[in-house]
Structure 1
Amino acid sequence: MSLSLLPLPQAEVLLDPEFLPLPAAEALLAELTATIAWRQEPITLFGKPVLQPRLTAWYGDPAARYAYSGLALEPQPWTPALLRLREQVQAAAGSPFNSVLLNLYRTGQDSMGWHADNEPELGPAPVIASVSLGAARRFRFRPRHPQQLLHEPVSLLLPAGSLLLMRGSTQQHWLHAVPKTAVPTGPRLNLTFRLVTER
């Protein structure tokens, strides 16, 4: 399949639910889960340090330093598997990427809160390419400025091997999240490719 535009106003969000064949997605999940240098970082929420409710890792070019939620991330060097995936994602997105944030959701109780990928080092209209592996999870969008956007939150089910592309003014007008679920579910690994500029 190919990328299809989703009906979100003041945004450019595209989805390919079959970007990677399922056997390739399953093999990549097993390799990355076993070989990535996973960490559980403390972040600051409402002035208090808490552990992120998921495991994370940051890989990329040496200069691709990134900061969010009080964290300053130094990139690990690319692995062969991540480099191969980056080539595929760049070709599909038509955009270059110099870094990738990996999030491992171990169970349905691991989550990602509402946020926008709007850090200064990503620029005013970043291209974010997100590959999902493992168990399907709900990915939600809601308007960042409810008084300006008369639109209900949108929920997508992102299956293994899918590619979600966010670009244009998406981060200016929309927040996104991966909520917890009480439904028993296996691990999900998400990789978000980005182009980080020097600050």
Structure 2
Amino acid sequence: MDADLKCLELPDSEIYFDAQYISKPKAEDFFKKLLQSVPWRSEKITVFGKTYDQPRLTAWYGEEGKSYSYSGIKMQPLEFTPTLMELKTQVEGFSGQQFNSCLANLYRDGQDSNGWHADDEKELGSNPVIASISLGESRFFHLRKKSDHSYKEKLLLSSGSLLLMMGATQNHWQHQVPKTKRKIGSRINLTFRYIK
């Protein structure tokens, strides 16, 4: 594990954070390339029996056969682009982990969001490793304990930052990217994963 990763001291978790994993100019370059090259899609999701438009755009990349399902959506993998493969290789070397897929999210403005959830789908296995790279606009990332929702933590994920969630984190914690009333630009979030 690289020395620049700071460990968050949260119980029943293994979370590491590097606020400037990628330099600002390089992060801006990656953001522009991905904004133009990714075939962003609007998906319908089903939560508590209700179906509505997911409040962000997504794309799923991975090795052949590595589909991913959540909230009534089943995503088939697109082939990794050279840009995504470059980022995947970098984060694998930095973290010492292996990844075979990536969920890309585009938050178009402050009204796009991602509600409380854990990345605990069966395809990810029991203690998944999630490497999350942020590009573009800064957004707040909230964490809360599953067993005690009053136990919360908040991080500002700026462009070029890396958040690494490992171990039993998804078993004990939920996370969200809430809406904001501030006038802000777009953010791309790349979450590299290993599908079993």
Q: Give the shorter-chain TM-score range.
A: over 0.9
What whole-Å deviation, never above 9, does each CA across 1:115-145 have from its counterpart, x for those lacking one?
Answer: 0000111010000000000010000000111
Q: Does the alignment pair 1:17 with 2:16?
A: no
Quote the Cα distance in structure 2 between the aligned partners of 1:164 and 1:114.
17
2: CA distance, partners of 1:140 / 1:159: 14
Select the residue among 95, 105, 108 that pairs with 2:107: 105
Query: What pairs up with 1:134-145 in 2 under 5 angstroms?
Result: 134-145=136-147
Query: How big is the shift at 1:7?
Result: 1.2
Q: After TM superposition, give the deviation of residue 10 of structure 1 in Å.
A: 0.6
Question: What are the within-5 Å matches in structure 2 for residues 56-75 of structure 1?
Answer: 56-75=58-77
CA distance in 1, matches of 2:82, 2:164: 23
* Cα distance in 2 for residues equivalent to 1:143 and 1:179: 16
Q: Compute the displacement of 1:152 (Å).
A: 2.2
- What root-mean-square deviation, in Å, do the aligned CA atoms of Structure 1 and Structure 2 show? 1.1
Pairwise CA distance, 1:91 = 0.9
Q: Structure 2: 5+ residue runs without aligned partners?
A: none
Mapped to 2, the partners of 1:161 and 1:32 lie a distance apart of 14
Q: Secondary structure at the match of 1:153?
A: strand
The normalised TM-score by structure 2 is 0.97
SS of residue in 2 equivalent to 1:30: helix
Q: Does residue 1:32 correspond to 2:30, yes or no?
A: no
- Matched with 2:193 is 194
What is the one-letter code of the residue matched to 2:11?
Answer: P
Deviation at 1:2, TM superposition (A): 1.2
> Distance in 1 between the 2:139 and 2:109 partners?
10
Identity %: 50
Q: Structure 1: where are the runs of 5+ without partners? A: none
Detail structure 1 runs of 4+ shifted over 4 Å in the superposition.
none
Q: CA deviation at 1:92?
A: 1.4
Q: Distance in 2 between matches of 1:93 and 1:67?
A: 25
Matches within 5 A, 1:112-131: 112-131=114-133
Q: Equivalents in 2 of 1:185, 1:112: separation in Å?
A: 16
Summarize the alignment of residues 86-101 of structure 1 with structure 2, pairs less than 5 Å apart.
86-101=88-103
Q: How far apart are the structure 2 equivalents of 1:155 and 1:54?
A: 21
Structure-1 separation of matches of 2:96 and 2:179: 32
Q: TM-score, normalised by structure 1?
A: 0.95
| Letter of the 1:169 counterpart | A
Deviations along 1:141-165, whole A, 9 cap, x unmatched?
Answer: 001111xx8x621000011000000
Please show how residues 75-86 of structure 1 align to structure 2 within 5 Å: 75-86=77-88
Comparing 1-10 and 56-65, the one that deviates more = 1-10
